């Protein structure tokens, strides 16, 4: 999916917003945002920060379920999802 890119600021090319593949950026924003961050879609957002310091397996299962559910809301088809290493979450799929 092509969208405008935010890299500390909006990228501008030839006086207009730069459009590039934004799948990775969209997933990152979805993982970092809390529910209620997007006023138009109040149930959108994973809020991954609340899961980072939780050591138990139940939290990881909840996180995996929440990521899968939220990506599905965003019309992303998840093929594989691995949250065993919270510093390196692996998501394979496409829009």
Note the pLDDT of residue 40: 92
> Which residues is 55 bridged to in the sheet?
none
Note the pLDDT of residue 11: 78
Q: Is the pLDDT of residue 58 over 80?
A: no
pLDDT in tens, 10-28: 778 888 888 888 788 889 9
Note the pLDDT of residue 92: 93
- Average confidence (pLDDT) over 67-84: 92
Mean pLDDT, the chain, as a whole number?
Answer: 87
If one looks up domain 2-94 in CATH, what number appears?
3.10.450
pTM for the full predicted model? 0.80
DSSP 54-88: --SHHHHHHHHHHHHHHHHHTT-EEEEEE-SSTTS
């Amino acid at each position: 999916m092509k969208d405008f890119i935010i890299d500390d600021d909006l990228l501008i090319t030839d006086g207009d917003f730069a459009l590039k593949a934004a799948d990775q950026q969209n997933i990152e924003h979805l993982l970092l945002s809390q529910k209620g961050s997007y006023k138009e879609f109040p149930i959108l957002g994973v809020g991954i920060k609340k899961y980072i310091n939780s050591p138990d397996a139940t939290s990881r299962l909840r996180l995996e379920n929440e990521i899968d559910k939220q990506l599905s809301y965003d019309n992303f088809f998840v093929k594989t999802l691995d949250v065993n290493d919270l510093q390196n979450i692996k998501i394979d799929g496409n829009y």
